[in-house]
Amino acid sequence: MKSSARLRLVAAATVCGTAAVLGAVAPSATAEAPGGKTLVTIGDSFSANGEILDLLNKDGDPGCKHVATSWPTQLTQRMGLAPDDVEDTSCQGGTIDTSGWALVHQVKRAASEGAFGPRTRAVTIQLGMNDAWGTDHPVVLSMACLADLAAGCGPDAAAQGRTPDPATVTGQGYADRVRKAVEYIRYYAPNARVIFVGYPEIHTPGQDSACASILGVDVVQPRAGAVTGFLDRIDTAQREAARLLNVDFLDARAVTAGHGACAADSWVAGAFDPRTDLLGFPWHPTARGDSTLAAAVQQRIELG
């Protein structure tokens, strides 16, 4: 069976599976509705963040640790919320539906903790980077081509199946994959503002090259169009899906513009780069980047 056909079958099964799993955790119609928690955060490592030493852990799995400088943690502090009034299910490696700690699992965990209810003010969702789009493997597994200075990550990489094809990342596809979870959240947290949180600027939108700092040295891959194009399309897909589902979109690229990888004032961590966060996850926000994003999400929640 071709990979595209397999993905269509997986997507169809995921929609049915999501409905079944969420239905299984739905509160009884006769039960008293829970109050809910003020803030619910769903996401991947761009929400949870982490340290590079976690990746080097011999156990291999950094788990779902939320570092003190992650934007949801800083947002909790900025809003003056008690820890038990926030449900943060974000996790390194989180996906919409591809593998691991997926959206349905995160929503189920939040529901089991009584996080959704009339008191819930906001539910943030930051997912998609780790998912498979058009190929059987997610982009995070395809970034090895950035280190391949001979073959690179140009358009041919997508054609050869070495990276996802940016053209397969669409707003309609994104909306279809998250729709059931969004409908569930809306039903059980009717007063909540649902916000799709975009990814911060890693590279200048539209460029073909990519840069990463390693031990304080900037390393450029001039042929990275398949990867940078994917990141551009994820941003567009989140924005379009938010419109289709009538939820909010927080443009993280706009609030971090000019501070991507290798910028003079970069808010993106390198690999053991003393100029940013020495132990931060490469290509993930520094504490400064997360602080800026926390402020932007707070403004969206409080000012509308």
Residues paired with 173 in a beta bridge? none
Burial (CB < 10 A; 0-12, 13-18, 19+), residue 155, is middle
Contact between 214 and 143 under an 8 Å Cβ cutoff? The reply is: no
Strands (E), the chain: 39-43, 86-88, 122-126, 193-197, 210-214, 217-221, 248-250
Which DSSP letter does residue 268 get?
B
CA-to-CA distance for 32 and 120, rounded, in angstroms? 16
Q: Given pLDDT bands bounded at 50, 70 and 90, which one contains residue 143?
A: low
Question: Is residue 304's pLDDT more than 80?
Answer: no
* Residue found under tokens 């059987």: 136
Give backbone dihedrals phi and psi of 51, rounded to 5 degrees, phi first.
Answer: -125, 145
The mean pLDDT of 131-157, rounded to a whole number, is 73
The C-alpha angle 202, 287, 239, rounded to 5 degrees, equals: 45
Name the least confident of 78-82, 164-168, 226-230, 285-289.
164-168
Higher pLDDT, 210 or 95: 95
**pLDDT for residue 58:** 46
Contact between 284 and 45 under an 8 Å Cβ cutoff? The reply is: yes
Higher pLDDT, 280 or 167: 167
* Residue found under tokens 């007063």: 191
- Tell me the pLDDT tens digit for each residue of 20-32: 556 545 543 333 4
Name the least confident of 10-24, 143-157, 216-230, 262-276.
10-24
